[in-house]
Amino acid sequence: MRKITLLILLIGLCTICKAQTEREKAIDLKNHAVELMDNGKIDESIKILERAQQIDPDFITIPYEIAFAYQLTKEYDKSIEIAKPLLKHPDVFDLVYQLIGNSYDLKGNKAKAIKMYDKGIKKFPNSGKLHLEKGIVMASQEKWFEALDIWEQGIVADPSHSSNYYYASQVLAQTDERIWGVYYGEIFLNLEPNSQRSAQISKLLYDTYKTCFPIKNNKWGLQFSHKATNIVLGDLKDIKFSFETIHNLVMEQGYKGVEPEFTIDNLINIRKQFLEEWNAEYAERYPNLIFDYHDFLIKNKMFEPYMYWTLKGGAENEFQIWKSNNASTHSKFIEWFNNNPMSFPDDRKTNRFSY
């Protein structure tokens, strides 16, 4: 009996080892095929992926990559045909829904695309990618505020996915809720600091800040949000006002004593004074990961280079003058910043719906 048991065990182990070896071979082929695909050799990539699928027919990533390759060749029906059965696969993942939805969109069938994204969101409610794609399709139909709603749902669902911030910040910067255009834009820059989109959002951030601080009759003004209510600073500890109202109130303290001229240097002083007042009274009642990060930057003497880096897209000359005078500080900041990214703890989620 012991010999039979041992034999069964050995057979089982051999089967597992064989399966592992086949999976490893399939993965190697898949990786090579993806590299070819990235270099534009789509037909060659598909042939190799089909070989990999013969070796390991249960590995869902391989038919997904085949379907993606056909999408790249604009054979959208073929892509959908290959990808659809994967929806019933036990290891299905959100990118399968994204791939099928994108193929429908590229075919011009936006209704089916949205339906597929909705199915994916139902199964994967925390998928930032699926919210992103649905919002893009809405925006392509000029349904801007419906798209904004979807992108912000994506921000809530997946706070570390950059693209929903990218699109939402651009829409909000054109509205009376510029406050969220500013803060979504800044979060985006922290999540995606080195891309062409980063330069675009850096300029947007500078331009939006400038609109938020209009200067009239040699005095600062505030136009961050239409939700802000004018109140008198006093004992507000037991009253819950909107985040936008308190933000407006504290920002008035921020520009006290600062010369009414919009420069990055003046904005740095405003934000520092704002943060000092905010931390003293409101940080716990209105948790905000951006202000937490600003505080962290100030404590590490990195706030000034951070603000110049953040806003350089809208004030290139001002940034270059500062950089030429602070080359060492700038270099230290880049290294420090790469090692100290903004974090996204669950208890500090920052969006329009978190207050």
Name the one residue in this structure whose structure tokens are 């136009």.
223
Q: What is the number of helices (H) and of strands (E) in the chain?
A: 17, 2
Residue 132 lies in a domain: no
Could you give the 3-state DSSP secondary structure of residue 69? helix
Give, for all 355 residues of the chain, the pLDDT tens digit: 544 444 444 444 444 445 568 899 999 999 999 999 999 999 999 999 999 999 999 999 999 999 999 999 999 999 999 999 999 999 999 999 999 999 999 999 999 999 999 999 999 999 999 999 999 999 999 999 999 999 999 999 999 999 999 999 999 999 999 999 999 999 999 999 999 999 999 999 999 999 999 999 999 999 999 887 655 555 555 567 899 999 999 999 999 999 999 999 999 999 999 999 999 999 999 999 999 999 999 999 999 999 999 999 999 999 999 999 999 999 999 999 999 999 998 888 899 998 8
Residue 141 lies in a domain: no
Answering whether pTM is above 0.85, one says yes
Residue 260 lies in a domain: yes
- Torsion from C-alpha of 118, 124, 127, 131, nearest 10 degrees: 10
Are 209 and 267 spatial neighbours (Cβ–Cβ below 8 Å)? yes
Q: What one-letter code names the amino acid at 12?
A: G
Are 164 and 154 spatial neighbours (Cβ–Cβ below 8 Å)? yes
Query: How far is the C-alpha of 288 from the C-alpha of 183, rounded, in Å?
Result: 10
Residue 290 lies in a domain: yes
Our count of domains for the chain comes to: 1
Residue 31 lies in a domain: no
For residue 304, the enclosing domain spans: 181-355
Residue 134 lies in a domain: no
> Which helix (H) or strand (E) covers residue 97, if one does?
helix 94-107
Residue 305 lies in a domain: yes
Residue 203 lies in a domain: yes
